[in-house]
Structure 1
């Protein structure tokens, strides 16, 4: 009974391990399979040449194509099997990658839909002012926990060659960080993002970051606005948030948030 239970536990743990590490195992399998395929194909080719020469000596003429195929077919069975296994690993990797991507997109869409539903309910129940006060409290918590830092905006001098505006602090929701620049810089970035959005029909968060002059985020290229979602302009609300100590910053908000795309 104990041995049976132990065997079941081992099988269950093996299934979990294979499920969690399937992509890694398939990648290793494909790499090893590729090397073995090359090695075995080289050996098979050498053997096939030897067989060809033996037939030529025995029959005192060059062997026909049919004779070559019939006599050398067996030496290529191993390379063929290894090549098939390697291709199976490659296609398996694609299959699991698609499943992971689909799971990520589904999870993001679920969370995004739930959050939007929550915002809508808060507005309906308590009004727009209460919704903004709640967001202020969330942003203020971030402000208390993080240091404000300044980014080098030299890369965007072409957008604002004569910008003498006052430096302000802004909160980047997607990067969960603060940065400093002028309000004119932010407005110009929002304009140029919308200009590209109107011309191409899509725009990414990292594209917006580049106009702002701040570093890209890891998932910024996959977070995109698209006209396929039913809107033709990305609205921005640069809302001023005042903290308890009297200091303030500007939260960059948008009614139409980007979606995760691969």
Structure 2
């Protein structure tokens, strides 16, 4: 293998390790804590022997706590070092994750700001009617890319109209009035509690939670939930109500206060 190939391999390894550093550090930390426990257990018999030898040396039946520590502390140094390094790895993993989350929140905020500026300029230059036409075209593209014929339709007790949620990509049966009522109820809740999650909205419209639904949401400082509706035809010809969000849920919704 020539130097160029070796350099590429090393670069690839470094990139992969940097990308997965939280998982690597967490794994090392957990393994280290287990090793610490094992080492401490193995050191105990030797420590007990030293205690007995010390008792015989000074002619005492029991040792003071301070004397026990002085007699046995060397036995536990390896375990203490391993435990300290393990804790450092776990703290490092947490720090890396915190920095990545902060960067993600910043990138999201910048993207959201750019989108708002773009939408505002579309309305300014072409008018509200043209803006609605663009939104309808986007909604049409979404259901064409995710046809109902290949997707399960979730039956809820909230209505009989075919609906499509733009974030989770789920088709479900609902009712526009009940969905608007859920929107109003959550906005009222937001006035009292300052924020609500995306899963709170899904619960109100009869949908199950999704994994990121507790990490995304709305904060009153960023504006109320403002749903956008577009009437389309699904792939099988069924009228379909596409639900989108004029104010998108964000990752740091619970930390804006």
Same fold at TM > 0.5 = yes
Is 1:206 matched up with 2:202?
A: no
Does structure 1 retain, via aligned residues, the 8 Å contact 2:231–2:242?
yes
3-state SS in 2 of match to 1:259: coil
Report the counterpart of residue 197 of structure 1 in structure 2. Answer: 190
1:80-129: per-residue Cα shift (whole Å, max 9, x none)? Answer: 10110110111011111102211221222222222222211211222111
Paired with 2:237 and 2:12, the residues of 1 have a C-alpha distance of 56
Unaligned runs of 5+ in 2: none
How much does 1:179 deviate? 2.2
When normalised by structure 1's length, the TM-score is 0.82
Q: Let me know the Cα RMSD of the aligned residues.
A: 2.7
Q: From 176, 187, 197, give the equivalent of 1:183.
A: 176
Structure 2 CA distance for partners of 1:130 and 1:214, relative to 1, 3 Å: same
Unaligned runs of 5+ in 1: 157-164
Is 1:251 matched up with 2:242?
A: yes
Number of residue equivalences:
248
Paired with 1:124 and 1:172, the residues of 2 have a C-alpha distance of 28
Structure 2 CA distance for partners of 1:214 and 1:244, relative to 1, 3 Å: closer
Is 1:28 matched up with 2:27?
A: yes
Is 1:38 matched up with 2:24?
A: no
Structure 2 CA distance for partners of 1:71 and 1:137, relative to 1, 3 Å: same
Structure 2 CA distance for partners of 1:7 and 1:180, relative to 1, 3 Å: closer
How much does 1:9 deviate? 4.1
Structure 2 CA distance for partners of 1:58 and 1:203, relative to 1, 3 Å: same
